[in-house]
Amino acid sequence: MKNKPRILITNDDGVHAPGIRYLWEALHEIADLTIVAPQTEQSATGLSITLRSPLRLEKLNWSNGIVAWSVNGTPSDCVKLGLNIVFNEKPDLIVSGINRGTNAGRNALYSGTVAAAIEGVLHGIPAIAFSCHDYWDTDYTTANKHIPSIVEHVLKHPLPNGTLLNVNFPSKELEQIRGYKMTRQGMAYWTEDLAERFHPAEKHTYYWLGAKLAEFNEIEDCDIAWLKKGYVTAVPIHVNELTDHQHLESRKNVFEALF
């Protein structure tokens, strides 16, 4: 009998968040899962890593005798400690999520969920990030149902070195999902929505960063647009080289002549 694929699962909503429990449910029959996830919520921490404070890796009874590892750090920290301490050999895949709230468009840049996948890719391990569009009243059951076939697809059709798959589920119930789209990354993202408050005792102003959707004229074939139409979207995101080649070619000579 062929061994099951070995998968490190993590997230940015914390080891006890509902999303990672749905992820475990979706994959535990088809894969050998190891959970290494943040002790507390780490949303919007991007590819932050913890250099200035000590990290603990704690084994815990996650659910009905299932063991999980928690880390008092970011999703990237979890992947780093998982790969170095928990795994003897590299896992076959890293799966991050299921995130509460969309990581479509340029939200991927801020997302801790996607960052865990980036960290995997930098270590040469294929990685998938799963997110649900809805932040409020998130319904993970649609994602849960579709995740096994998407994971099996990635295991069968490997991602190139340096590329992760960023999957988002639309705000639809299972029977309303219209299909899968592998597509381009859109432009929309959550930008700040500042709220000013006054500290009653310390007598100073402070701010809550908040979030509101910055919308753009999107092309039709992008994750933002397909999600609105009820499709599950998958964007292959590459992180090895982000050079703007067009600008490089057009400005190289002028720039280098400055010296």
- Binders of a copy of itself among residues 139 to 198 (CB under 8 A) are 149-150, 153, 157, 159-160, 162-163, 177, 179-185, 187, 189, 191-192, 194, 197
Given the complex with a copy of itself, which of 21 and 181 has the nearer CB atom? 181
Q: Determine the interface stretch with a copy of itself among 37-45, 62-70, 88-96, 130-138 (rule: CB under 8 A).
A: 37-45
The CB-of-206 to a copy of itself minimum distance in angstroms stands at: 4
The 2-31 contact track toward a copy of itself, x by CB under 8 A, reads ------------------------------
The CB-of-46 to a copy of itself minimum distance in angstroms stands at: 4
Kindly tell me which residue out of 30, 60, 86, 211 binds a copy of itself, with binding defined by CB under 8 A. 211
**Burial class for 177, CB neighbours closer than 10 Å (0-12, 13-18, 19+):** middle
Q: Determine the interface stretch with a copy of itself among 21-29, 77-85, 87-95, 128-136 (rule: CB under 8 A).
A: 77-85
Please tell me the distance from the alpha carbon of residue 162 to that of residue 70, in angstroms, as a whole number: 27
Please tell me the distance from the alpha carbon of residue 201 to that of residue 204, in angstroms, as a whole number: 8
The site that binds a copy of itself (CB under 8 A) totals a number of residues, namely 82
Kindly tell me which residue out of 5, 48, 139, 218 binds a copy of itself, with binding defined by CB under 8 A. 48
Q: Are 150 and 234 in contact (CB under 8 A)?
A: yes
Q: Would you state the torsion angle of the CA atoms of residues 86, 91, 93, 95, taken in this order, to the nearest 10 degrees? A: -10
Amino acid at 151: V
Is position 201 an interface residue for a copy of itself (rule: CB under 8 A)?
no
217, 153, 216, 162: which is closest to 180 by C-alpha?
153
Q: Determine the interface stretch with a copy of itself among 14-22, 27-35, 130-138, 201-209 (rule: CB under 8 A).
A: 201-209
Please tell me the distance from the alpha carbon of residue 23 to that of residue 239, in angstroms, as a whole number: 24
First to last CA, the chain: 64
